[in-house]
Structure 1
Amino acid sequence: MARHTATASRSFLLVAGLLLIAATLRGPVTGVAPVLDLLRSHLGLSPTDAGLLTTLPLVAFAAISPFAALFARKYGIERCLFGALLLIAAGVVVRSTGTVVGLYLGTAIVGTGIALGNVLLPGLIKRDFPSRVPVITSVCAVTMGVAAAMVSMSVVPLADVFGWRIALGMVIVFPLAAIAVWIFAVGGRTVPLKGTPLKGVPITETPVKGSAPVHGGGVWRSMIAWQVTLFMGANSTLYYIMVAWLPTILTNAGFTPAAAGSIHGVMQLSCAVPGLVLSLVVGRLKDQRLIAAGTGFMLGVSLLGLLFAPAWALLWSVLFGFGSGAAIILALMFMSMRARDVHQSAALSGMAQCIGYLLAACGPTLAGKAHDITGNWHIPLAIGVVLSVLMALFGSLAGRSRHIGTSLAASGR
């Protein structure tokens, strides 16, 4: 009885740790956009310099993601996630020092930590909860969205009262809470540095060992892997364009900065809503083609709405958040569902996030340049509509019930 209670407690702590890690993986980045104009005025940043604050984490995501599985293979998933949380916390502190150098250096450090967490979380879910991948992934996605919404909606009021440094620094509560729970979740004070699996929890081995090649073998040659990657990349590009520029789009349309920040937060909160129902829906479907394609069309409709009826921005932001949130959850699910084992899951996660975030890193900058050239947001939004159609196409392909093959011939099924 005591052993069963201890096992249940450890399992609960593991889930709590996963959720707190998920809460840390979005807010530190998305909370910058609502105070971007404030940062520009206080630090004398040009529009391009300010846009780099949103792009820099995405570059870090792309650069670090391919190596995350290698780090987990060598040091263990638990230890790497613990290190990722430390990096995020350290980056938040450096970013809040009040200097331009600290702002950019801290942002890069935050991006590095989040990149590790982004890649390793799906692999950990695949390993520890193989029969509950859709449910655990959805709950983590809900947590990401709620945390990001809280940050986006509170950062402007906090900046008005305490200044932008404290407003951006308050997000440190998420990694600190995750660190505290993760220490206990993995079995004791020394476990995060040992990589020892939890007692009583059905875990194989913490370091990702085995015969699978370090870089995932045929994953980079698999058609289904590329379809998952491009589906995620298109969604991430559109999502981070909106994260970076939605407040500016809205203020240009006549909204106050506080109202724009609130709508920005509502968009983040809407990203969490699909997680409440998507796991139940996915479990009943033979494949996910229609629902994945539908997310792309939802994004297209919302962008058209912002283009032609900006007064209804709240509705379009909710629609965009719902569609993008569903796509994020599906992409995370695909990283586990399209893989045959934890090795392929980690490799696919690294591939999809490397290419996906490399594409996403270009989005905010190119959208800002298009705005500077044309003087309005018509062209960026129209291009976004086209990209959403491509996203629907890739989603319909990635949603097929296929697995990555063990050979080049099998991988293109």
Structure 2
Amino acid sequence: MTPTPASAAGRAVPWLLLAGVLVAALSLRGPIIAPTPVLRDIGEDLAIGSATVALLTTAPVLMFAVLTPLAALVIRRSGPELALLVSLSGVLVGTVVRALPGFGWMLTGTIVIGAAITIGNVVVPVVIRRDVPPDRVSIVTGAYVATLNAGSLLTSLLTAPLAAVVGWPTALLLWSVLSVAGIVLWGLHLARERRAGIDADERFSGELSPGRGAPGEQSPGKASPEDLDPRTLTGPMPVVSARAASFLRRPVPWLLLATFGAQTFMFYGLTTWLPVLTGDVLGLDRTAAGALASVFQGVAIAGAFLVPLLTRIAPAWVTVVAISGCWLALMIGTLTAPSLLVVWLSLGAIAHAGGFVVVFSLLVQVARSDAEAAGMSALVQGGGYAIGAVAGPLLGGLHEATGAWSAPLGLLVGIAAVYAVLLGAAFLAMRFSRR
């Protein structure tokens, strides 16, 4: 089948698209992580408790869960490129609002940031599926995850030193420079496409690229608008049309949802309180605690590439054992031997980045069309982030109730064990679905 001119043109510049995705990725996690090194200062200055201040990292994750179907509508109406530009603009606006005085403004800005990032979360896997050759999906997804973690690393490492000089409100505001860079690049890219006469929405809903259909299927023509109707894309409590029921009856998407939910719970729960935990357990000051916590983001950059390499050279069960074992080592090690925290954080970083790459690589591989990829992305991210949203307040509440970190870390050990079972089941289901 011959691709449409628009599709061909889109695939003629994959490196430009990849650069745009990677620059955008810097703004898709960093703004959420930025408050964590100064959470205790924020709580003290605004006279709020641990569970309440944790909303500053939990609210965006909750937006990921609730607004994923709406994000699909934005993508359908505007096309992926413009949708990503809207996402970055929203992050910029939210960052400015969050810097205004008062916890109400902080929470409002945080919600805006979460809503805007939701669009980017959904659209990036669709762009990767549309424009990246199938044999490169894992590597490109790894590069995307690595850049997500690079943004988190920068904000985790530098927010506390900046806050010491200019105060935490201004320090949080300064990270808007990442969003501005992404807006400039995507604005130029969108203008270039329009000058070339390429309609982004037509590209998204047009013919599938060669080899992208399901095995043994004839590739369809243009996708119907109903394929991307938000009513067919699911959040945590899906109500779907008959057209979307095909992938909802398959076990792999649901296993990926549960796996991703366990991962987001561990990641956001630990990330929210890691600087505070390291300060309490190891007696570090704010800057040193933030620097140590940044290991969790920094090593993840390498993990995003190590795990895809492992999947190429080793059987699937090795990948499952490696990722699951690293998560368990992080939680058990932090609980029993906190003096070696840098080791446990390094292992956990590999687990987090590798698990993200594996989940979304499996999602892309099992999807049979661009519309189904968007629907599965909405299902997995909507449900997964709904689970992850409760982690920060729950762990903060446990710590406040017990006065120690043993109970929160014990809960994370249990979640890590459940994650290991779910990830193995997802790989098995994927293997049998190919038969």
Query: Secondary structure of 1:399's match?
Result: helix
Q: How has the CA–CA distance of structure 1 residues 403 and 97 changed in structure 2, closer, same or farther, with 3 Å as cutoff?
A: farther
Q: How has the CA–CA distance of structure 1 residues 73 and 376 changed in structure 2, closer, same or farther, with 3 Å as cutoff?
A: same
2:336 to 308, 311, 331: 308
Once residues 331 and 251 of structure 1 are traced to their aligned partners in structure 2, the CA distance between those partners, rounded to angstroms, is: 32
Once residues 273 and 60 of structure 1 are traced to their aligned partners in structure 2, the CA distance between those partners, rounded to angstroms, is: 28
Once residues 7 and 364 of structure 1 are traced to their aligned partners in structure 2, the CA distance between those partners, rounded to angstroms, is: 40
2:137 pairs with 1:133: yes
Once residues 395 and 29 of structure 2 are traced to their aligned partners in structure 1, the CA distance between those partners, rounded to angstroms, is: 21
Amino acid at match of 1:276: F
Q: How has the CA–CA distance of structure 1 residues 144 and 371 changed in structure 2, closer, same or farther, with 3 Å as cutoff?
A: same
Which shifted more, 46-55 or 229-238? Answer: 46-55
Structure 2 unpaired stretches of 5+: 1-8, 210-219, 233-243
Give yes or no for contact 2:98–2:109 (8 Å, CA) kept in 1.
yes
Q: Which residue pairs with 1:49 in the alignment?
A: 52
Give yes or no for contact 2:139–2:308 (8 Å, CA) kept in 1.
yes
2:200 pairs with 1:195: yes
Amino acid at match of 2:403: G
Amino acid at match of 1:274: G
2:326 pairs with 1:298: yes
Once residues 285 and 348 of structure 1 are traced to their aligned partners in structure 2, the CA distance between those partners, rounded to angstroms, is: 27
Q: Which residue pairs with 1:3 in the alignment?
A: none
Q: Which residue pairs with 2:409 in the alignment?
A: 381
CA-atom RMSD in angstroms: 2.7
**Percent sequence identity over matched residues?**
26
2:402 pairs with 1:402: no
Once residues 12 and 376 of structure 2 are traced to their aligned partners in structure 1, the CA distance between those partners, rounded to angstroms, is: 31
Q: Which residue pairs with 1:173 in the alignment?
A: 177
Q: Which residue pairs with 2:298 in the alignment?
A: 269
Give yes or no for contact 1:96–1:103 (8 Å, CA) kept in 2.
yes
Once residues 83 and 327 of structure 1 are traced to their aligned partners in structure 2, the CA distance between those partners, rounded to angstroms, is: 28
The list of structure 1 runs, each at least 4 consecutive aligned residues, that deviate by more than 4 angstroms after superposition, is: 6-10, 189-194, 202-205, 207-211
Matches within 5 A, 1:63-212: 63-131=66-134, 132-188=136-192, 195=200, 209=224, 212=227
Once residues 97 and 432 of structure 2 are traced to their aligned partners in structure 1, the CA distance between those partners, rounded to angstroms, is: 41
Cα drift, residue 375 of structure 1: 1.6
Q: How has the CA–CA distance of structure 1 residues 209 and 152 changed in structure 2, closer, same or farther, with 3 Å as cutoff?
A: farther
Once residues 391 and 259 of structure 1 are traced to their aligned partners in structure 2, the CA distance between those partners, rounded to angstroms, is: 31
Deviation string, structure 1 residues 292-315 (Cα, Å, up to 9, x no partner): 343122111111111111111111
Amino acid at match of 2:311: V
Once residues 144 and 203 of structure 1 are traced to their aligned partners in structure 2, the CA distance between those partners, rounded to angstroms, is: 28
Once residues 365 and 45 of structure 1 are traced to their aligned partners in structure 2, the CA distance between those partners, rounded to angstroms, is: 13
1:319 to 331, 334, 347: 347
Once residues 404 and 164 of structure 1 are traced to their aligned partners in structure 2, the CA distance between those partners, rounded to angstroms, is: 51
Structure 1 unpaired stretches of 5+: 1-5
Q: Which residue pairs with 1:364 in the alignment?
A: 392
Cα drift, residue 271 of structure 1: 1.6
Once residues 41 and 147 of structure 1 are traced to their aligned partners in structure 2, the CA distance between those partners, rounded to angstroms, is: 26
Query: Secondary structure of 2:389's match?
Result: helix
TM-score with structure 1 setting the length = 0.89
Give yes or no for contact 1:14–1:186 (8 Å, CA) kept in 2.
no
Give yes or no for contact 1:48–1:365 (8 Å, CA) kept in 2.
yes
Q: How has the CA–CA distance of structure 1 residues 247 and 274 changed in structure 2, closer, same or farther, with 3 Å as cutoff?
A: same
